[in-house]
Structure 1
Amino acid sequence: MVPLICVVAGVVGWLLGWHLGVDNAVYRSGALAMLQGEPLYDRMYLSAEPSWARLPFTYPPTAALFFVPLALVPTQVAWGILGAVSVLLLGYVIKVCVEAVPERPQWMDPVRTAVVLGVVLLGLEPVWRTVFLGQINIVLMAMVVVDVLVVGARGSRFGGVLIGAAAAVKLTPLVFVGHLLLKKRWADAGRAVVTFVLLQGLVFLLIRHDFTQFWWHAVQDPQRIGPIYWAGNQSLNGLVLRLTDNADWSMKVVAPIALLIAVPCALWIRRLSPLPALLVTAFFGLLVSPVSWSHHWVWAVPLVVYLLSRLPDRNPSRAQLAPTVAVVLVFASCVLLAMRNGKAVEFDWTVVEYLIGSAYLLVPVVAGGILLARRR
């Protein structure tokens, strides 16, 4: 029902001229630009972008290849289709994650849980915001989840290919190559890298100018992304930028912190079963990435699935329910939207505002602290 609503809303929005899916409009314009020979990075917006979505194309040029299907329909219809696909994939991700945890409560049937949670967890801010903006976070998460928990787990010769393709659309999934290496899935890691490189080579042959502009200029231009000190950037880099009034040396602070937390994360990934190990990698990537907008945190969905799988069959205590409830409250609260933000007001936050305004990144930090304490 929800996917159908997305498609119908897209068609109605097209007929009535609604402003639907700002990011989706940029994706579609990138595909059109590539097809029409327009440079992707020479200007701060593309000619096909509607007046209400004048944003720069920030993704690798390989992403434009994947966005070509969006160029076949009007902007609003493309938003509706992408929303429907995202909702369907959300349910599939939940099903796969449930199946990846064999020791789970009897009531946690994969299909039924996927249907129920697929609707309920639409209320999480990263999820509904992804759909609202026309983002591809759920699609990329699904590609990684299927690669790690389904394709690669079966020993398929295609293991790693989806991760390589996801990284070609948005560079951050490259962190999962490290996950494959830590899990000693050498062939899968190799295929992921080869897939990524081959797609770059294809783009180099098709649109050499865009390839050069991205890797030599655009990828290093923070202005294309926007003010990354915004409250919506829930990464360690975003936090340091807010604390230091947008210091240009923020990543020099983040890098050693990332190396420090990488050690216990690597040990956990080696020892944990597939789903929790995958979650450690995902949240480590969100923490250390220079930019992790709030809608990137759709990995809260498989986290909720895993926490539910740890509950007893009957009458869970308040202490047992607390972690799941806390995670849902954080990501459903929309607290980041209520914070004072924009026009550099984040630099004037109080201590309490800094704590509340770092709600998402505190989830893996607190969880990691609890795990370390239990180990000790």
Structure 2
Amino acid sequence: MPAPRVDGRLGAGLLVGVALAAGVVVWLGDWRLGDDSAVYRAGALAFLHGDSLYGPERLSALPPWVSLPFIYPPAAALLFVPLAALPSGLVWGVVSAASLVSLAVVVRLCARRGTLPVAALTVCALALEPVWKTLVLGQINLILMALVVVDVLALASTRWAGVLTGVAAAVKLTPLIFVAHLFVTGRWRAGLRALGTFAGLQAVMFALTPRDSIRYWTGGGALGPNQWDGAHWIFNQSLGGLVHRATHDAPWSLIVALVIGAVIVAPAVWLVRRLHARRETLGALLVTAFVGLLVSPISWSHHWVWAVPLAVLLAVRRRWLWAGAVVALFGSCVVMLVPNGGDTEFNWGLGWSIPGNAYVLAAAFGILGLAMRECWTRRGLRARANPGAPGLSHTT
């Protein structure tokens, strides 16, 4: 008798059910989870009530224990409107449920395996620091990642290609790098759709709330200098964070970080094009994702959820050692174990600086290493194809 097959919808339903049940418990118990999801709801309510999203005053719908500002583009408030219909305490459960489904979708698209392996990989992914921290905070990193992955991997040959990437960029500016990815890989129509979706949503908000839109895009709101306060904190795992820590928040830190980023971007773009030309679509996308995390002025540790598709890709290719290294790095919570806070990061020394910048160093050296290997592999193939060519033969 054949073993019964587990319906993928059942697994997804269980994930949603568990998250929603946890959300109800959190709501009834008045637990303080979901700071960021509370901000999403408060931003939506401020938009609906005609209040300022970026004014100096605190968003009125925030719980008393949350004091975070709304730092997202105006279009994000429009897309968060469905959360306004939910009680404050229940928003965390709904966002977490959507995040878990998004995680399962990403694993499914990257693993291309049956339901049981996907379910197991999804549960294992919960042990990674960026994943569980995203869930605790009620962040939308997993949802945005799923939008991009579905767009690039599943909708590439459809007329909708690029739209979900544009939506993701309209919620947070950092996914704009995936719009550039579409152009770099020669997918011009998808790139234009992404740009059109992004610009269209912002234009809608200029019509609905011109004051907030002008304030945001002229630097008077969340794009102002206050957004970069605390850039040296260990949980900012970007090149900017690394340089701010190394230079004790010197005013020229961001410029140095941009120069270092440019050194990494050049070979990364070449690598993305090479991988895409070989139809290694996921590999090319991951290079772009990690470049984006490196060059963004702020990349909090919970933004590094792209470790999940990376580990899955390595496991599918049976690169067990590298897959284990990725899981060990992001599951070790190393950035939570290093002394931090206040000015502590300025006094690390070399010993603490390596684990304290672990995500940044791993991504930077990984991208540069892959680019060098690709260059050597290409050179070797050319040498075998034309052994007599000057500079290619081992005997010259």
TM-score (norm. length: structure 1): 0.92
Query: How far is the alpha carbon of 1:224 from its aligned partner?
Result: 3.6
Residue in 1 aligned with 2:67?
Answer: 54
Query: How far is the alpha carbon of 1:44 from its aligned partner?
Result: 5.2
Q: Are 1:111 and 2:111 an aligned pair?
A: no
User: Which gives a bigger RCO, structure 1 or 2 (Cα 8 Å, sep 6+)?
Assistant: 1
CA deviations on 1:204-259 (whole Å, 9 max, x unpaired) are: 00011110111111243232454111000000000000011112222211222222
Contact 1:45 1:57 in 2 (8 A): no
Q: Are 1:15 and 2:28 an aligned pair?
A: yes
Q: Structure 2: which amino acid aligns with 1:205? A: A
Q: Are 1:251 and 2:254 an aligned pair?
A: yes
CA distance in 1, matches of 2:348, 2:44: 40
Q: Structure 1: which amino acid aligns with 2:131? A: V
CA distance in 1, matches of 2:116, 2:236: 34
Structure 1 gap ranges (5+): 100-108, 312-319
Contact 1:94 1:113 in 2 (8 A): no
Q: Are 1:297 and 2:304 an aligned pair?
A: yes
Deviates more, 1:252-261 or 1:295-304: 252-261
CA distance in 1, matches of 2:101, 2:371: 36
Of the three residues 68, 76, 79, the one matched with 2:92 is 79
Of the three residues 180, 205, 220, the one matched with 1:203 is 205
Partner SS, residue 123 of structure 1: coil
CA distance in 2, matches of 1:225, 1:239: 14
Of the three residues 265, 268, 288, the one matched with 1:265 is 268
Query: How far is the alpha carbon of 1:370 from its aligned partner?
Result: 2.9
Q: Are 1:283 and 2:280 an aligned pair?
A: no
Q: Structure 2: which amino acid aligns with 1:173? A: P
Contact 1:237 1:251 in 2 (8 A): yes
Contact 2:267 2:368 in 1 (8 A): no
CA distance in 2, matches of 1:245, 1:38: 38
Q: Structure 2: which amino acid aligns with 1:255? A: L
Partner SS, residue 307 of structure 1: helix
CA distance in 1, matches of 2:225, 2:342: 16
Contact 2:151 2:165 in 1 (8 A): yes
CA distance in 2, matches of 1:220, 1:82: 25
Query: How far is the alpha carbon of 1:264 from its aligned partner?
Result: 1.2
Q: Structure 2: which amino acid aligns with 1:114? A: V
CA deviations on 1:40-92 (whole Å, 9 max, x unpaired) are: 10125311111111111111111001111111111221100110110111011
Q: Structure 2: which amino acid aligns with 1:128? A: W
CA distance in 2, matches of 1:69, 1:344: 40
Residue in 2 aligned with 1:106?
Answer: none
Contact 1:46 1:56 in 2 (8 A): yes
Query: How far is the alpha carbon of 1:363 from its aligned partner?
Result: 2.0
CA distance in 1, matches of 2:121, 2:345: 34
CA deviations on 1:239-292 (whole Å, 9 max, x unpaired) are: 000011112222211222222211211111111110000000000000000000
CA distance in 1, matches of 2:287, 2:370: 11
Structure 1 ranges of 4+ moved more than 3 A: none
Of the three residues 207, 220, 223, the one matched with 1:220 is 223
CA distance in 1, matches of 2:223, 2:252: 14
Query: How far is the alpha carbon of 1:11 from its aligned partner?
Result: 1.4
Q: Are 1:90 and 2:103 an aligned pair?
A: yes
Contact 2:36 2:137 in 1 (8 A): yes
Residue in 1 aligned with 2:11?
Answer: none
CA distance in 2, matches of 1:209, 1:11: 37
Residue in 2 aligned with 1:103?
Answer: none
CA distance in 2, matches of 1:283, 1:156: 26
Query: How far is the alpha carbon of 1:369 from its aligned partner?
Result: 3.6
Cα-Cα RMSD:
1.3
Q: Structure 1: which amino acid aligns with 2:342? A: K
CA distance in 2, matches of 1:179, 1:295: 22
Identity of aligned residues (%): 48
CA distance in 1, matches of 2:178, 2:57: 30
Of the three residues 175, 178, 181, the one matched with 1:176 is 178
TM-score (norm. length: structure 2): 0.87
Contact 1:44 1:55 in 2 (8 A): no
CA distance in 2, matches of 1:242, 1:193: 34
CA distance in 1, matches of 2:339, 2:255: 27
Q: Structure 2: which amino acid aligns with 1:26? A: V
CA distance in 2, matches of 1:29, 1:71: 7
Residue in 2 aligned with 1:363?
Answer: 362
Of the three residues 6, 10, 19, the one matched with 1:6 is 19
CA deviations on 1:179-218 (whole Å, 9 max, x unpaired) are: 1111111100001111111111100000111101111112
